[in-house]
Amino acid sequence: MKKPIFLLLCLLFMNTLKGYSQDPNFYIFLSFGQSNMEGNAKFEPQDTVANERFKVLQAVDCPDLNREMGKWYPAVPPLSRCNTGLTPGDYFGKTLAESLPDSIKIGIINVSVGGCKIELFEKDNYESYSETAPGWMKGMIAQYDGNPYGRLVELAKLAQEDGVIKGILLHQGESNTGDQSWPKKVKGVYDNLLSDIGLDPDSVPLLAGELVSAEQGGKCASMNPIIATLPDVIPNAYVISSADCEAIADGLHFSAAGYRLLGYRYGDKMAQLLSKQ
């Protein structure tokens, strides 16, 4: 009987050591959404300068980039799938790293699917939504094993072994333009994330970015007043303005300059919130 007890004690000791490996100074942020969060603009040389305190937890395997899913890498674009571009997350992380003490590291996880509705991230609806998705989107969804929400939760739990989840970033809504129930749907996704990952809503704010503004020719700008109501249903939600964030001619996506400014605003807001904790 002594040998099994000894082995059990060894396992408990190893699990205890694993628990202590979590670094309270490693701040991790989840991000999800559709094409603007996925990254649409071609990144430029200035965007590929790494900050040693800013890391990305790879969400899919990218052999050409020498990246494996579930491993940390310097956070340089692409932060999402292998062939995506610049995102608000790039300059969110850089801004936050510059705003916080040198002892703090920043980590980001980006699980996004261009063109998707918020329903793709609903636990009870993603399968039925995926079945009716266009073929080009199904290929993107397949890279997350058919369940982007599940991949986000999986990676979040993995990341918790290394650090502490401090917030969630969202940029989505173009495909839900005019949907008055969008804020409640987002709340459902947010609540599920908190529950499935084991997070406290009081300490995990949700930052949601506006879509391309009307002044920039935004084709979905009418969704911004709906996005503005998100804090009414999620007390710890904050809307990030897209005013003056440059867009491209399609009226749906930001330019690289637009992503930089929008990302800065995400980071600046999160820095303000963290300073109050």
* Residues with catalytic roles: 35, 250, 253
Rounded to 5 degrees, what are φ and ψ at 218? Answer: -65, 120
Q: Are 210 and 241 a contacting pair, CB within 8 Å?
A: yes
Q: Is 39 exposed, middle or buried (0-12, 13-18, 19+ CB in 10 A)?
A: buried
Q: How far apart are CA 89 and CA 44, in angstroms?
A: 15
- Helix %, strand %, coil % for the chain, to 5? 45, 15, 40
Of 49, 189, 192, give the one whose Cα is nearest residue 117: 189
Q: Is 173 exposed, middle or buried (0-12, 13-18, 19+ CB in 10 A)?
A: buried
Structure tokens of 94?
């850089």
Q: How far apart are CA 237 and CA 57, in angstroms?
A: 24
Q: Are 195 and 252 a contacting pair, CB within 8 Å?
A: no
Question: Does residue 156 sit in helix, strand or coil?
Answer: helix
